[in-house]
A and B are shown apart, each in its own frame.
Chain A
Amino acid sequence: MAKEIVKVEHLEKFYQKRHVLHDINFSVNEGEVVALLGPSGSGKSTLIRCLNGLEPYQQGEVTFNGEKIVPTEKNWQKIRQKIGMVFQSYDLFPNLTVLDNILLGPVKVQHQSKEAATASAEKLLDQVGLREYENAYPRQLSGGQKQRIAIVRALALNPELMLFDEVTASLDPEMVRGVLNIISNLAQDSNMTMIVVTHEMNFAQQIADRVLFLEDGKILEQTKGSQFFEQPQTDRAKAFLDSMDF
C-alpha cells in the first residue's frame, strides 16, 4: 500500500459562530494528485490553508507523514518546510531579488549552504525557463513569471507535499498555460504529492487522480479523477460541472 502523506480526520472549523468546515475526512497518498473542486465559498481555500496551519481549526486531527500534528505555532513552523504552498496572489517578497526570494527558505530556515542552495535554485529556475531573471526584482516580472518563481520558491525547500491555492486565478489567460504545465510536469515527472484548488476544469481533469467535491464546507463526494468528470456521483457535482461549461 502506498504511503499516506496527509490524513485529515473529523476536521471542524468555525469563524466565530459560522461553521465553515464540517467533519472533513480524507487522506492523500504519496505521489497522488488531489483536486479540491466546488463553487466559490465552499471552503476549498480554507481547507487547504488548514493543512499547513495558516488557518486554525477547532476540532479534528491532521496527520502528516504518520505523525499527528499538535497544532501549535512552533510545530507548524517546522512542518511548513515540508509542505510547499503557492497562493493565488504569488506574493514574492518585493524587497528581494528572484534568487534571494528562492534562497530565503533553504538558507535561513533549513540552514543549507548558500552555494548548494544556489545551485539547486538555479536548476529549478532552468526548469521553469527563468534562469536569466535570477537577479531581477519581482516588480520587473509579469504575473505568470512571478507565479512560476513562487512555485520554485516553494519547491526549493524539497517539500513532500505541495498545496496550490487557485494559482492561476489572477493571471492573464495566456499566462495560465505556462504555470499549469509546470504543475503537470511536477505531477508526472517528479511524482510530487499535491493538493490543488482550481477553477480550471480541463486542468483538473488532466492531472487529478482523485477529486474532492466540496459545497458549504462539506465533502459531498470523493471520486477518481477519471470518473468524476464523466460520471459525477451527486447531482450537485453534475450541476456544478454543467455550470462550468464542462
Chain B
Amino acid sequence: MAHSGINVLFEGRNLIRLFGGLWTTVEIAAVALVLGLILGVVLGVLRTFPSRLLRFVLRLYLEFFRIIPTVVLLFLFYYILPKQMGVNLPANQVATLVFALWTAAEMSDIVRGALISVPKHQRESGMAIGLSRWQLYRYVLIPQAVSLELPATINLVTRVIKTTSLLMLISVMDVINVGQQVVEANNQKYPTGVFWVYGIIFVMYFVIDYPLSWWAKRMDKKRLERANG
C-alpha cells in the first residue's frame, strides 16, 4: 500500500490547504448569506407594497439574477464590469457581492410569497385596531411569514453554499480550486489521488449542507403538524 491514493491527503500541507480552501468558501458564503438575507427581507417586504413601479423594478431585479446563470454573473462582475467602470475588486469580494445580490433576489421572492399567503383577514384585523402599515408588518405579518418561509430559506442557504463551487472560475482560492491544485501537483505520485481529493470535498460539503436540509425538512413537518393539528 505504499502508493495508496489516500495518502495524497497527508502529503505535505495538503489537508491543511484543503481546509483553508474550505474556510474561504464558508467565509464567502456566510458573509454573502447574511447580507443577502437581510437585503432580501427588505426587498420582499417592499414587493408587497401597492406601488406598481416599485414592484416592477424589484421584479426585474429578481428575474435578472434568477435567469442569468451564476457563472455568467460571476464573469460579468469579475471581468466585464471592472473594465467598463474602472472598479477593481479582489475576487473574494466580487464573489461575495454576486452571491449576496443573488441571495437577496431569491430571498425577496420567498419573503413576498410568505407575506401574501398570510390570510387577508389578518391584515384587516390589524388595520381595524389602528395599526400603521409598519406596525402591521412588524407585529402581524412578518412574524407569521417567518414560520412559512423558514424551510425555503434554509434550502436557499444550502443552494448558495453548494454553488460556491463555481468560485474557482474567477480564481478564488476556494476548496475546489485548492483541490484541483493538489490533484495536479501530486498526479505523478498518486494517480488515484483525484478520487480522494474530490472524495473529501464531497464529505466537506455534505457535512455542511446535510444538517441544514435535515433541519428544513423537520421544520416543515412541524409546521404542518401545527397547522393541521
Contact = CB atoms under 8 A, between A and B. Distances in A.
A104 B129 contact: yes
Nearest to B126: A93
Interface stretch (A29-37, A78-86, A207-215): A78-86
A104 B128 contact: no
Interface of B is mostly: helix
Residue from A52, A87, A93, A139 having most chain B Cβ neighbours under 10 A:
A93
Contact of B130 (A54, A80, A95): A80
Contacts of A108: 131, 135, 139
Interface in B131-161: 131-133, 135, 139-140, 143-144
Contacts of B226: 139
Contact of B128 (A73, A78, A80, A139): A80
A93 B135 CA distance: 13
Interface stretch (B25-33, B117-125, B186-194): B117-125
Contacts of A78: 130
B126 A54 contact: no
Contacts of A73: 133
A118 interface: no
A154 interface: yes
B143 A54 contact: no
Nearest to B229: A139
A93 B122 contact: yes
Contacts of B140: 93, 95
Contacts of B80: none
Interface of B: 119, 121-122, 124-133, 135, 139-140, 143-144, 226, 229
B125 A87 contact: yes
A94 B144 contact: yes
Nearest to A109: B130
Contact of A85 (B128, B143, B229): B128
A104 B132 contact: no
Given A108-B135, A108-B139, A109-B135, A91 B130 contact: no
A91 B122 contact: yes
A143 interface: no
B129 A80 contact: yes
A157 interface: yes
Nearest to B142: A95
